[in-house]
Amino acid sequence: MEFRQIRYFLEIRDAGTFQKAASKLGLTQPALSRQIFLLEKELGSLVFERGPRQIRLTHEGEIFLTYAVRMKELWDELRSGMKEPGKELSGEFSISAGGTVSAWILPEILKKIKKDHPDLVLSVREGDSLETKEAILLNEVDLGILTGPVDEHGLISREFLSDRIVPVAPKNHPIFQKKKQTLKDIKEESFVFFHPASAIRKAVEKKIRSLGKEFRPKIGMELRSVESVIKSVEAGLGIGFLSEYSLSSKLRMIPIQELIAERKFFLCHKKSIRPGLSQLAEELVRESRERFGSLIE
């Protein structure tokens, strides 16, 4: 495999057609098609579905895309000298993330990264996935952490951390007196939910819909911040749903498997990145692996 084939693959994916990509690359279309044919032959799989007007990535192409982007990032770093011995990660970078990540995941990770790289200046702003994605596109932040992958021209994302959203109640709640908790035990309970646009609310509602008519929660409160939900549940105002990362010492998970929702966090940034951003992303991944052990490879 030649690196130019990786570059051609990425250009075709961005352009949407072989003809447009060939024009941008200064190649003839047959020459470009030949290089992709050789790439697919070496991989043993087709990476593109050829349509009459536009091409699409195959399943194998989606897998290869993840590695191709990373290889190009490393190549760009190599060319700019980012991996020279003694080259220190420095400069100013900004990150946007949701409430759970901003409050319970990033602080300790960033503390360690800044300790290792004293010339690094990091700022964090809180925003939901939509706000974060828009901030990246508008160059307001360098890096975002989202609750889903992006399919947006000019952006790339990679899986970062896994998370579970679980039902919770105060530790002294009567439900914990039972040996086993079931959906029937909480049908008459009041619930503290996040506002309808929140990622946690959407994940919980998707899980509830999968149960059909078996469970319909009585929503007593709808709140915007993680802290508000935690305090309200701690006060006994209802059962809530929280990320496992944000469980407080006063709360306990209700082990009803049917109500546990899983989600993934994704690191996201522009395809054209500032020097050092790829290295910062790798540092975030490495520290997350060491602290939480739930990195998705």
Domain co-membership, 149 together with 272? yes
Tens digit of pLDDT for each residue in 215-242?
A: 889 999 999 999 999 999 999 999 999 9
Domain co-membership, 206 together with 252? yes
Does residue 2 surpass a pLDDT of 90? no
130 Cβ contact list (under 8 Å, min separation 6): none
Which among 46, 7, 41 is positioned nearest to 24, based on CA atoms? 7
* Domain assignment present for 85: no
H helix intervals, the chain: 3-15, 18-25, 29-43, 59-80, 99-100, 106-116, 129-137, 183-186, 199-209, 226-234, 277-292
CA 53 → CA 13, 16, 21, 27, distances in Å?
13, 9, 13, 19
* Domain assignment present for 71: yes
The span from the CA of 243 to the CA of 118, in Å, is 31
Domain co-membership, 40 together with 57? yes
Domain co-membership, 145 together with 190? no
The span from the CA of 84 to the CA of 128, in Å, is 36
Does residue 85 surpass a pLDDT of 90? no
- Structure confidence at residue 24 (pLDDT): 84
For the domain that residue 65 is a member of, what is the CATH number? 1.10.10.10
Tens digit of pLDDT for each residue in 28-67?
A: 888 888 889 999 999 999 999 887 778 889 999 999 999 9
**Number of domains forming the structure of the chain:** 3
The span from the CA of 275 to the CA of 73, in Å, is 10
Range of the domain at 58: 3-80
The span from the CA of 229 to the CA of 194, in Å, is 7
